[in-house]
Amino acid sequence: MPIEKTLSIIKPDATKRNLTGLINAKFEKSGLKIIAQKRLQLTRSMAEKFYEVHKDRPFYNDLIDFMISGPVVVQVLQGENAVKLNRIIMGATNPEEAEEGTIRNEFAESIEANSVHGSDSLENANAEITFFFANIELI
Ligand code: CMP
């Protein structure tokens, strides 16, 4: 199976509740390596640019307000089939639909405050990693 990299964000609802370590443990238990990680306060313009693909969606403005409401932890996860595997570990976007044992099932508060973001394709993963990290930061 191919070794891939994917971009993960631990969102403000999770950093506020001190869940970074518990979430990271789930990635590591499932075989994903955290090969880069930093805690950031996103600016409005960074969040708007990152989520530009959703700019015409009704939830866009609320999503941006939420993503800048506190610190986030951005990270690069590496492993076999990392993009798909991370989406399984996260669970469905809506926590009410997320399977037991997934991050969103255990920790998410709502579809907006859903604790984590993960790239949805290898192509988007590469673009999202480049958005936050230089190559020399991926160890
Ligand atoms: P994320 O994977 O970060 O990508 C876009 C985010 O928009 C998504 O997770 C959700 O947290 C948020 N969002 C808020 N409302 C909705 C909605 N109705 N449908 C999909 N995503 C939503």
Distance of CA 138 to the CA centre of its chain: 16
With beta carbons less than 8 A apart as the criterion, state whether 35 and 4 touch.
no
CB 64 within 8 A of CB 44: yes
Contacts of 100 (CB under 8 A, 6+ apart): none
Find out whether the beta carbon of 92 lies less than 6 Å from any atom of ligand 1. Answer: no
Q: What percent of the chain has pLDDT over 90?
A: 99
Active site residue ranges = 117
pTM of the model: 0.97
- Which pLDDT does position 1 carry in this prediction? 81
> Residues 54-108: pLDDT tens digits?
999 999 999 999 999 999 999 999 999 999 999 999 999 999 999 999 999 999 9
28 with 34: CB under 8 angstroms? yes
pLDDT of 51 > 90? The answer is: yes
Ligand 1 atom nearest 114 alpha carbon:
11
Other CB atoms within a 10 A radius of the CB of residue 111 amount to: 15
